[in-house]
Structure 1
Amino acid sequence: MIEETSYTAEEVAALLKISKLKVYDLLKKGELPSYRVGKQMRVDSSDLEAYKQRSKGAGAGFSARQPNAPAARQPSPDPNAARERTLIITGQDVSLDILARHLERRVPGMRPLRSYVGSMDSLVSMYRGEADIVSAHLLDGDSGTYNTPYVRKLFVGQSYVVVHMLKRSAGLYVRKGNPRKLTAWADLGQAGLRFANREKGSGARVLLDEQLRLRGISTDGLPGYEEEESNHLAVASKVASGEADVGVGSEKAARLVGGIEFVPLIQEQVDLVMLKKEENRHWVDGVIAILRSDAFRSELLHMEGYDLSRTGDILYES
């Protein structure tokens, strides 16, 4: 028997040339059948091909299946499908994986899916209806506050709640021994400094850009500034390999990469954003209850570097 090829959400996104969040949205709406293997969602090649054919037919205004062609294989009905609600949780911090596990156990009928994208893309995806629980750590340099200024500008006229998740140390990744003597944000103006940078819209990129802006440091011609990495580990690794002199990220990633040192400069704030809709009420309340629970906090307390003193506090509610 020949085993059918299956694809991850990332592979489907690459094949269809769409964002991962759009793929998760298709899975969430049931337009693209999927199943779970461990924590990973898989899509069979036949279901992907059937979706493509349906899309072609919808675009042309008639069925893409020819009269004598066999019908695309339909997935077997899932007796729990009607009762199960998929929730897309965005962000890269490991605390969100723990939240997803607690949510699946404690809120019946919920199937959490994790999407590892940056803060700004996460908020935009929620605006488009493609994400449910958004994690953000976006600094507004002018006010010195995190997240709420961005949320209020984007979700005008919508009801939402911003709940505090945790604080963690962020700062500079530097090479062993800190040969460029980088100890403050102002030191990033040193001539010839080579950067390892994150992608536009990520919390680390916004943090760097805000600190450069506030100090009048132009990004024009900064070596490495335009080259983007998709996570903290990749930035730290470029510094460790000598390809860059400095990068911005969280302390946790620095502990996983040898050959670098970490210069703490700020306590960044990670918050969750959720839309307040009638159909969301029970799981939004469930998320807040989990954040405030001893069971959730005790798991995070065993991980160094988290400040949980305000975890579960409602910071803003529209």
Structure 2
Amino acid sequence: CSSREALRALVDGRAHVAGVHLRDQKSGEYNQASIRRALGQRRSIVVNFARWELGLATAAGNPLAIRGFADLGRPGLKIVNREDGSGARSVLDHALDEAGIQRDRIAGYQFEAGGHLEVAAVIAAGLADVGVTIRLGADAYGLDFIPQQDERYDLVMLEHEADSTPIKAMLDALNSRRFAREISQLCAYDTAQMGQVVSI
């Protein structure tokens, strides 16, 4: 689910851990402002999972010669979007605002996919020309990928859950160099800081 929905699930007790990658556009900091807004006075522990490249995926060979977000304002170009509350949607909306592109003038802006792989699948099927996803999604479907920025993906848990058996097991796994290597090789993520506590 989206980062914001994951935080809601954590607050509602429907999840033990929330995966989050939401950049605060004012400070440039990842996740902290969104976590504070969602959790209020609840104390949390934030642990890094990985960093990944977020960018634009297009059909193989990039037939429309898309270079960046400014190209999304071209007439006739159709995008596939992510749901509101996702990190990818937040990045797209900020980039469109920066470029002065009105969202309601972009074909496909309301056409939403539920995850990075789903965005890539829609493009691979020819139902959209471009979408925001991670490199892994584009690679999985043989698409071209135009990197736009690095993202930090963190895991958030409530502090009072930290001593529970499942959370301890997860933290042990995150601090395993072998696990970090496997994730890095499998997904091409930067796992150099995996398991490090970002904030308490």
TM over 0.5: yes
1:275 to 2:133 alignment: no
* Residue of structure 2 equivalent to 1:210: 94
Greater CA drift, 267-276 or 147-156: 147-156
Answer yes or no: is 1:163 the counterpart of 2:163. no
Q: Deviations over 1:244-279 (max 9, x none)?
A: 121110111111213x311111111110000011x5
Amino acid at match of 1:159: R
Could you tell me which residue of structure 1 aligns to residue 79 of structure 2? 195
Shift of 1:304: 4.4
Structure 1 segments unaligned to the other structure (5+ residues):
1-116
Listed as ranges, the gaps of 5+ residues in structure 2 are none
Structure 1 residue 162: Cα displacement: 1.0
Find the partner of 1:222 among 106, 109, 127. Answer: 106
Asked if the contact 2:48–2:155 (Cα under 8 Å) also holds between the matched residues in 1, the reply is yes
Per-residue CA deviations over 1:36-60 (Å, capped at 9, x if unaligned) read xxxxxxxxxxxxxxxxxxxxxxxxx
Higher relative contact order (CA 8 A, sep 6+): 2
Q: Give the structure 2 partner of residue 295 of structure 1.
A: 178
SS at match of 1:247: strand
The DSSP-based 3-state class of the residue aligned with 1:135 is strand
RMSD: 1.9
Displaced runs of 4 or more, over 4 A: none
Q: What's the CA shift for 1:130?
A: 1.2
Counterpart position of 1:143: 27
Look up the SS of the partner of 2:104 in the other structure: coil
Aligned amino acid, residue 281 of structure 1: D
CA distance 1:135–1:182, change in 2 (3 Å): same
Check conservation: 1:140, 1:210, Cα contact below 8 A: no
Query: Across the two proteins, how many residue pairs are aligned to each other?
Result: 199
User: 2:69 aligns to what?
Assistant: 185
- Equivalent-residue separation in structure 2 for 1:248 and 1:165 (angstroms): 20
1:68-217 aligned at under 5 Å gives the runs 117-217=1-101
Match of residue 69 from structure 1? none
Quick one: which of 98, 101, 120 aligns to 1:236?
120
| TM-score, normalising length: structure 2 | 0.90
Specify the code of the residue in structure 2 equivalent to 1:129: G
User: In the alignment, which of 147, 151, 164 is matched to residue 264 of structure 1?
Assistant: 147
User: Within 1, Cα distance between the matches of 2:185 and 2:129?
Assistant: 32
